[in-house]
Structure formats: structure tokens, C-alpha cells
Structure 1
Amino acid sequence: MDALHTAGIRFAEALQSGPPWLEKFWISVTSLADPKCIFTVCFPLAYFLDRKVGVSVLWIGLVSEWLNVVLKWFLFGERPFWWVHESGLASKEPVALRQFPVSCETGPGSPSGHCMITGAALWPLVTALTTLASRHSRSLAAKLSPFGAYALLLLAVGLSRVFVLAHFPHQVVGGILAGAALGWGLQARTPVTRAPGFFVTAALALLLSSLALHSLVIAAGIDVDWSIRLATKWCSDRAWLRLDTRPFASVCRDAGTALGLGLAAGFPLHRGERLDPRQRVAGAALALGAVQGLHRLLQPVDATLWYGTSFLKYAAGPWLVASLLPRLVLSLAHPRGSPHTE
């Protein structure tokens, strides 16, 4: 593994030695592909494009993130920004590497969550766009363009993660392959949106199983916090260490989101309540603004309260997008309560 890690460090050096303008590009890509964006950006937009696609994006996103956490607990992947020091490579050979505010991830590094979760969650959206393109064009290039954009996006995300020293190349490749496989496999297995009991049960299962696995790993004598200590030790600026990069933050996000889907399923729109194209655009803009505003609210400093608040925010998001805001758009369009049917 040392040879693989060393090759990854040299590849990261080559990326960082590129044109200065590329630095902002790579940092922008890695920020935009943060798994949180699946929950706060992709889901609201996809839901108002097509309800089923939106729920599929969110469901696959939360399942793949939970699986990513479990894999990281058991694969013990190193991260470049600390391995280069812990291995002694930086003291033996000249290494020209820089850290960035997005470098200091505190969880284990394998596989890449950015690649795995983004790749899995976007699969149903890309499939839907491919189907739409096939209906309106006979051109093979037009039909393949959504998957071409998908592949280029994942390539850019992977390179950006290596650039900021968050992952080694083999972790990125593993994340991309796992994400595409999960997206393909789970797309047809998205639960129906009118099953609130299923989503509530899923939320409890995700949370309790994570706590149980965490306890079993500790009972087996495995140090589950090893990556947090190394990240804290070797991060260039402690202000760059964020609670939302810890594995349990992902678990809270996933369990909260599953509960939110249950809340939305418990208060569905009636069959006659449909949004026309203009209302969908208005709903998407309103949902995006509401969810972004929700997640910009200040978080408590205390870790326990932080996790609890994060859980509640992610539970509120799907309910806002899939239940409250569509009703609000319909009520504004038809203030006298006359439902609009397409």
C-alpha cells in the first residue's frame, strides 16, 4: 500500500503544480460535489422536475452515504494530508504539497464519499434526462450527452479530491465504481412515496444500526476515532476541521432525511393537485431558497446539540420540498382553493 500511496502523493503534486487558475476550479468542484448538496440542491431541483426522480435521488443519496460510512469504518483508508507525514515520506523526500480549507476531512478516506454518493444519487436523474433526450432527438450524441456529462463530472470531482489532498486516486476510483453500481442497482428499488411507515422505520434502522456497529467496533478493540486524531494533528489550520465531516454527522443526515421522507409521505398531495410547468419552476426556486436558508441557520457549538440540530434540519428539508411548498405554490396560484389539474 505504501507504493500506491506514494504514487498518489506524486500525482497530487503534479495536479497542484498546474496553472494557478486551476486551483479555484478544483476547489469549486470539490465544494459543489459535497454530499450535502445532494440533499440541499439536487433533491429540490429534481423533485420539481419529476416527483419520482426527486425521491429516488434523495433515497439513493442517503442509502449510499450510510454505506459509505460503514465502508470507511472497516476499510481504514488513509488521507493524503496526514499520511504524507505519518509515513515519514515528507521527512525523507522533498514534497511540495499545500492544504486548503476543504482538505481536513476527519473521517477515514476509503472510498471517496464525494464520488460514491454523488455518482449514486445522480444516476436516476441522468437516466431520466437520457430518456427525455431520446424522446426529442434521434441523434446518438444527444442521447448519450447526459451520461457523458455524468462521466466528466465524476472525473472532475475525483481529480479535485486528489488535488485538495482529501483522497488518493485509488480511493476516488473505488468511490466512482461503487457509486455507479449503487445508482444502477437501487434506481428500480426506490420505495413508494406513500409509505410513511417504511421511511420512519428506515430512519430508526439507519440510526440504531450505526450506533450498534459503532459499539461493536469499539468492543472489538478497534479505535474508531483514529482518523479524527490524525486529522486534528496534521491539519494546517484547526479552523478547517468541521463536525460535518465526521462519520456520525453523515448518519444523522441520513436518518433525518429518511424521517423527513416519512413526514412528507404522511401528508401527500392529492391526485388532483398537480403543478404546471410554471408552478414547477416557481416551486423549485422556492424550495431551493427555503432549504438553503434552513441549513444556513447557526449550529450549536456543543457536539451533541450539533448532531441533534442537524438531524432536525435534514428531517425538515424533505417535508418542506415534498409537502409544504407544493401546497403553498398551489394556494398562491389558486387562492380560492380550486385545485388545478393538468
Structure 2
Amino acid sequence: MMDALHTTGIHFAEVLQAGPPCLEKFWISVTSLADPKCVFTICFPLAYFLDRKVGVSVLWIGLVSEWLNVVLKWFLFGERPFWWVHESGLTRKELVTLRQFAVSCETGPGSPSGHCMITGAALWPLVTALTALASRHSRSLVVKLSPFGAYTLLLLAVGLSRIFVLAHFPHQVVGGILAGAALGWGLQGHTPATRTMGFFVAAALALLLGSLALHSLVIAAGIDIDWSIRLATKWCSNPAWLRLDTRPFASICRDTGSALGLGLAAAFPLPRGGQLEPRQRVASAMLALVAMQVFHRLLQPTDVTLWYATNFFKYAAGPWLVTSLLPWLVLSLGRPRGSPHTD
């Protein structure tokens, strides 16, 4: 049954890749923008300067859903199209015309789709907030439903893009979308927006220890946990396309680091009275976007262990940069010269 489902998915991917050439850049752009990393480096800063509580909710739900996605992938053993089409022998039975791209060679298991699940979950509180805002300013049903309409179209586009680049089968995409929407809805009311540093440090420790315990459990059960990395390495058409940040443990570093980063942000808030005006919010958001992109491109060690450690510290520093350091810098630059310094 799974072979039939996979074969149908391969044929669907062929149909997508046979579409107009102009759509190729579109699908690759969509899958790149919906990378789970973007929840931490783009969606979180933008949402935070729209509304602090919503921003924290986006980051918290994003890191929890990504952690759960890794756990599901460890136990569901999902294949990926770019290697299954060869491992299954389908290419020897019939002519298959498929291409790989630089974003195709994901190294973790494929089920469910992380792009769909994590993006769908993390954006839920933002979409809910925009829906409430639209409802306050308009009586039009179309306007009120437009945020959720855009959310649905975005997830559909993300899902199709993942099939197009051979990263996922259709059933993995559907599972990711449903799981993401359910998690977003379920976790939105449980965002620890006002917790202390101790809570987030405990959460980071729980995520890390939980990951290590489950990893040990899978190995003790005699399961080869690195099977997907070997298949990705074997069938990726360009070794340069294999990226460390697609490995499951890279996600664990990102999630535990971000949870710790929320603790740092709680420990070092803005000084009392440090409220940002609308212009300063916009300036802080733009500065945060640029700073996060530059920050995450710095220090890319080639040693795997060092890369993981660097990745962890980058994501631990991210929330503190966004919620404390950069807003403080904007407030300082916006203070009139010669005015007394007040907290």
C-alpha cells in the first residue's frame, strides 16, 4: 500500500515539474521562505514588534512544534522522494523524469513535513491576532476571513513546493499541515508569555534531555537512526547540497537554544518606561531582520560538533537580541541629544 502511495506521489511530482518553467523559481522561493529557520529569524521578529505576546507565542509554538516534528520523524520513518525513487527500483521499471534542486537533499526522515507542520503551527497565533484586528476595524466577512484565507493559501503553496523539489510525498505534506494547524490551535492558549527565566531554562533542559532519552531509546530498540542521512548522501546529485542544518539534531539545537534565549530575554527586559513608539517598532523590526540574517551567516565552522555548538549559541542569543538589545539601541538613538538619561 505504501509503495502505491509513494508511486502516486512520484507521478504527482512529475506533473508539477512538467509545469511552466517560470514556476520553478516560484516553488523554490516558497520552499526557502517556509524553511523552519525562518520562523526563528523572520516571523518571530516581525510578530514581536507587532505585538510582544504574539511574538513570544510564535517563537514558543515554533520551537515546540519543531521538537515534536523531530520526534515524529524518528518514529514514523518517512521516505523522501529524491531517494525513494531510486531505492524502490521504480526508475528501473519505468521512465521517470525528475530533477533535484539545491533544496531537495534534506537529510532527516520525511514524515510529516516539517515545513508545513512548523510553519502552520507557528503562524497560527499571528493569523489569529490579525483576524481579531480585522474584525475590530471591519464588518466585512471577507476582510475578517482574509488572514485565514492567506494562511490556507500559504500552506497549500508550501506543500506543493515541497512536492515539487522532491523533499516530500503528498501524504506527508497533508499530515504536516493538519498537525501544524492542530498544534497552533492547541498551544496558542498555553504560551508562557509572562514566565520567568527559570521556566524557560527548565523547558530548554527538558527538551534536550527528552531528545537524548528518545534518541537512546530508538538506538536501544536496534533502529538505525542515521538511515536517512546515509540515503540522502547516497542519492543527492550534488554533495554540496547536503546541509548540516537539515539534520534532526540541528533542529534540537535550534529549539533548545531558542527556549534558553527566551529565558535570557526574560532576565534582561527593557528598562522600565522603555516603550517603543510605532516608528521605533518599525525601525526595530527592520534592524532585527537584518541583524538576524547577518548574525546567522557568521561563524560557520566545518567541524560538525563545533557547528552544532555554534548553532545552539546563535539561537540562544537571538531572542535576547530581538527583545532587549536592539530595541534598547533604537531607544538610545532616538533619545534627543542633551536630554537627561532616564530609565
> Does the TM-score normalized on the shorter chain lie above 0.5?
yes
Partners of 2:297 and 2:78 in 1: how far apart?
31
Alignment correspondent of 2:255? 254
The whole-number CA distance in structure 2 between the counterparts of 1:194 and 1:223 is 39
Size of the aligned set, in residue pairs, is 339
- Counterpart of 2:84? 83
Tell me the distance in 2 between the aligned counterparts of 1:289 and 1:139: 36
Point out where structure 1 has 5 or more consecutive residues left out of the alignment. Answer: none
Task: Provide the secondary structure at the position in 2 that maps to 1:122.
Answer: helix
CA distance in 2, matches of 1:167, 1:195: 39
Q: Residues 168-247 of structure 1: matches in 2 within 5 Å? A: 168-247=169-248
4+ runs of 1 displaced by more than 4 Å? none
Other-structure match for 1:22? 23
Question: What is the CA-CA distance between 1:270 and the residue it aligns to?
Answer: 4.3
Deviates more, 1:325-334 or 1:105-114: 325-334
How big is the shift at 1:192? 2.6
Are the counterparts in 1 of residues 218 and 225 from structure 2 also a CA contact under 8 Å?
yes
In angstroms, what is the RMSD of aligned CA positions?
0.9
Aligned 8 A contact 2:269 2:324 in 1? yes
- The residue that corresponds to 2:266 in the other structure is 265
Secondary structure at the residue paired with 1:100? Answer: coil
Q: Deviations over 1:275-324 (max 9, x none)?
A: 11001001101111111111011310010000000000000100000111
Per-residue deviation, residues 112-142 of structure 1 (Å, max 9, x unmatched): 0000000000000000000111111111000
**Higher mean Cα deviation, 70-79 or 210-219?**
210-219
1:107 aligns with 2:116: no
Query: CA offset at residue 337 of structure 1?
Result: 2.3
Corresponding letter in the other structure for 2:238: D
Matched, 1:54 2:58: no
Deviation at 1:267, TM superposition (A): 1.0
**Is this contact kept in 2: 1:82–1:230, CA < 8 A?**
yes
Cα distance between partner residues in 2 of 1:323 and 1:193: 15
1:35 corresponding residue in structure 2: 36
Distance in 2 (CA, whole Å) between partners of 1:266 and 1:30 is 35
Q: Which whole-Å CA distance do the structure 2 matches of 1:313 and 1:270 have between them?
A: 24
Whether the aligned pair in 1 keeps the contact of 2:36 and 2:114 (CA below 8 Å) is yes
What letter matches 2:322 in structure 1?
A: V
Between the aligned partners of 1:115 and 1:211, the Cα distance in structure 2 is: 25
Identical residues among aligned pairs (%): 84
Normalised to the residue count of structure 1, the TM-score between the two structures is: 0.98
Partner of 2:74: 73
Q: Distance in 2 between matches of 1:177 and 1:74?
A: 18
Deviations 1:208-247 (A, max 9, x none): 1111111111111000000000000000011100000000
Aligned to 1:123: 124
* In structure 2, distance between residues paired with 1:61 and 1:299: 23
Measure, in 2, the Cα distance between the counterparts of 1:85 and 1:271.
Answer: 60
Q: What SS does the corresponding residue of 2:104 show, helix, strand or coil? A: coil
Aligned partners of 2:193, 2:271: CA distance in 1, in Å? 15
**Post-superposition CA distance 1:193-218 (Å, at most 9, x none):** 34110101111111111111111111
- Within the alignment, does 1:300 sit opposite 2:301 as a pair? yes
Q: Is the 8 A contact 1:55 1:193 kept in 2?
A: no
- In structure 2, the partner of 1:280 is 281
Q: What CA distance in whole angstroms lies between the structure 2 residues aligned with 1:308 and 1:207?
A: 13
Q: Secondary structure at the match of 1:166?
A: coil
